[in-house]
Amino acid sequence: MSPTIAVLDDRLLIEELLRGLRVRRVELHTTSYWYYRACRAAVLGAGGQLSGPFEKLDAPEQASAIASLLRLRDDIALPDPRPVVPTMVAVAARHPRLNLMNLEAAAVGLVLGAVVWLSPKAAAGVLPPVLDAEGVRWKVGA
């Protein structure tokens, strides 16, 4: 049985890197935009939902966690833009009001045939109906 391919949103990416999601037989991916948002929050954080977990760490742990995020582990893949960008364009034609972050998430899910794992906040947003319309499987949490 081959592993499940999962695409982590920015909040779940941070959770995986700080605490671990405790998942087995899962090939982890994230999108470039979600990875950027996680890095930006860690480095420039303002106490929001993305940066909050880093701000709760003591200084040495925080520095180590940020450094680890900026060197994204080899077992968390980032998509190749060559197949993703044209797929984003196709998704944008069908969903013209969707922002870049959500276009990329839907496209990566399509290109990889992956399950998109969303945090509860993201699952309450505009992305799930688009994923459903595009035939991309998704779930809340890991």
Mean per-residue pLDDT, 11-24:
85
CA-based end-to-end distance of the chain: 19
Q: Residue 84: is its pLDDT beyond 90?
A: yes
Mean per-residue pLDDT, 31-52:
82
Task: Quote the pLDDT of residue 119.
Answer: 94
Domains and CATH numbers, the chain: 4-140 (3.40.50.1010)
Task: Quote the pLDDT of residue 49.
Answer: 72
**Rounded percentage of the chain residues whose pLDDT exceeds 70:** 95
pTM listed for this prediction: 0.89
Q: Measure Cα distances from 1 to 4, 5, 28, 115, 139 in Å.
A: 9, 12, 16, 16, 20
Q: Categorize the per-residue pLDDT at 24 as very low, low, confident or very high, splitting at 50, 70 and 90.
A: confident
Provide the token pair at 6: 């999962």
Mean pLDDT for the chain overall:
90
